[in-house]
Amino acid sequence: MKIATFNINGIKARIEALPAWLDEATPDVAILQEIKSVDEAFPAEIFEERGYNVATHGQKSFNGVAILSKRPLEDVTRGLPGDDSDEQARWIEATVMGDTHPLRLCGLYLPNGNPAPGPKYDYKLAWMERLLKRAETLLAEETPFLMAGDYNIIPQAEDAAKPDSWRDDALFRLESRTAFRKLINLGLTEAFRARTQGPGHYSFWDYQAGAWNRNNGIRIDHFLLCPQVADMLQDCQIDMEVRGRDKPSDHVPVWVELAA
DNA sequence: ATGTCTCGGCTCCCGAGA
């Protein structure tokens, strides 16, 4: 089963580029972030006619996550547990049947957190605490799961072309990386780094300052796999060439191939 | 390089967020 994550930066703006990539990459599941659309306005038909089931959790203007799946989506839940007052649409879960086991899919758009320090950064760290608790719960339930999306975290210096310029940024400051490391230390596997070592692998290039042409990128879109799913990992790749196409998102798709 | 893109208000530009 091929599962991709892709921050599309607006479904309306990506109404041609997203289907084009789906037709070519043919993932079984696409976990999307920043749909920037309310659920009623999401153009589900475009994906349904390609054989995808569609589950969205959107809001007006900002954020918003979705799951497209060729296998039926069951037990869809929306919103990250732990704060009923949180109105930002950043989390969606659904179950798909693998060849042998059910697989719980978690799609996330982790808060950016800038400027740091400040209230937006406090919200990011609090959100990551809730994410840690959700991962602990899923591990305790022993249901195979993965968590995929835009983590807005640069895990290590090698994941940025210019790490020094990110030193005090919410995506890279020590507290952010420590919170991400806590997740890993629960026993989760970061899929890309389980397969590929070394610098120069990025999933985001800013629209500004010719970042793409200078390859001034960062790697912030990740898959975290529970132990059972880590055992099924066959491949993990970044479709970086997508960034060079017409009307691109500032992120590119990252995908895993699972023996499931 | 002060370098871009997206969304929405109620639009013929601007602020906010990234």
Strand B, nucleotides covered by protein (CB < 7 Å): 1, 3-9, 17-18
Rg of chain A over all Cα atoms, to the nearest angstrom: 17
pLDDT tens profile A36-91: 999 999 999 999 999 999 999 999 999 999 999 999 999 999 999 999 999 999 99
Mean pLDDT of chain A: 97
Domain residue limits, chain A: 2-258
- Residues 21-40 on chain A lying near strand B, CB distance under 7 A: 36-38
**Cα–Cα distance measured from residue A224 to residue A189, given in angstroms and rounded to the nearest whole number:** 5
Intra-chain end-to-end CA distance of chain A, in Å: 6
A123: CB within 7 A of chain B nucleic strand: no
3-state SS assignment for residue A46: helix
- CB proximity A213–strand B (7 Å threshold): no
Q: Which of A's residues 158-197 have CB atoms within 7 A of nucleic strand B?
A: none
Which positions ≥6 away from A160 have C-beta within 8 Å?
Answer: A154, A166, A172, A202, A217, A218, A219
The residues of A between 46 and 75 with beta carbon within 7 Å of nucleic strand B are 60-62
CATH H-level superfamily of A2-258? Endonuclease/exonuclease/phosphatase (3.60.10.10)
Q: Using CA atoms, how far apart are residues A151 and A155, in angstroms rounded to an integer?
A: 10
pLDDT at residue A11 is higher than 90: yes
Half-sphere exposure of A235 (CA within 13 A, CB side): 10
